[in-house]
A and B are shown apart, each in its own frame.
Chain A
């Protein structure tokens, strides 16, 4: 079946603009994760959804970052008033089961955000 998809693949924003990044997880996957990957670094956790419930948002770097998954499938990561330090690749991952970190996560291709 189809894997995790993300759109857009590339986004250039001027500093101060708002952006919205979309993630379509694998159908039927309960868990959805967002990660941020700076150049030359490993991904870092941002937030986690179990169905439509956002259970962990401890990794969001500031209140300019907001994520939602209103119907328990597609998720959107929104960044308000973008700053240059927000430039990174934003990765979405989904997993079949919930909790406990026991199940394999499948990643999308990512959205590369460049803030000028």
Chain B
């Protein structure tokens, strides 16, 4: 059974720092991996989708990497801003298209 773990559960950093969020999964036979952002009381906003054949994806200040063999993905946020404060969720695509989510990393960026 696929399990997804995110570390750390919470992170607080000063504005301007570069930071890395970690995601690990137990079954390397995944299709793709998707990173989301969730603001309090809101739905999920897709940040990046990494195809299983890719090793990384970039969007603005965000860079996500995927290493299927080791069962890991990282989300790198450059020059963090207070507006980046949110919960970040990692999810792997399982058979049938359903997403298996981690529990999320709650990020707080202090001005």
Residues of chain B touching chain A, judged by Cβ–Cβ distance below 8 Å, are: 4, 31-32, 34, 36, 41-46, 49, 51, 89, 91, 93-104
Query: How far does the alpha carbon of A99 sit from the alpha carbon of B34 in the complex, in Å?
Result: 16
Interchain nearest-CB distance for A92 vs B (Å): 9
Residue of A nearest to B44 (CB): A107
Residue of B nearest to A41 (CB): B103
Residue of B nearest to A108 (CB): B43
CB of A45 within 8 A of chain B?
Answer: yes
Interchain nearest-CB distance for A28 vs B (Å): 17
Interchain nearest-CB distance for B36 vs A (Å): 8
Q: Are A48 and B43 in contact (CB under 8 A)?
A: no
7 residue pairs, one from A and one from B, having the closest CB atoms: A101-B93, A42-B101, A101-B97, A107-B44, A109-B43, A45-B98, A101-B31
Q: Which of B36, B41, B97, B102 contacts A33 (CB 8 A)?
A: B97
Query: How far does the alpha carbon of A110 sit from the alpha carbon of B40 in the complex, in Å?
Result: 12
Q: Is chain A's interface secondary structure helix, strand, loop, or mixed overall?
A: loop
CB of A104 within 8 A of chain B?
Answer: yes
Query: How far does the alpha carbon of A98 sit from the alpha carbon of B41 in the complex, in Å?
Result: 29
Query: How far does the alpha carbon of A109 sit from the alpha carbon of B41 in the complex, in Å?
Result: 8
Query: How far does the alpha carbon of A48 sit from the alpha carbon of B36 in the complex, in Å?
Result: 20
**Which A residues lie within 8 Å of B42 (CB)?**
109-110
Query: How far does the alpha carbon of A56 sit from the alpha carbon of B102 in the complex, in Å?
Result: 21
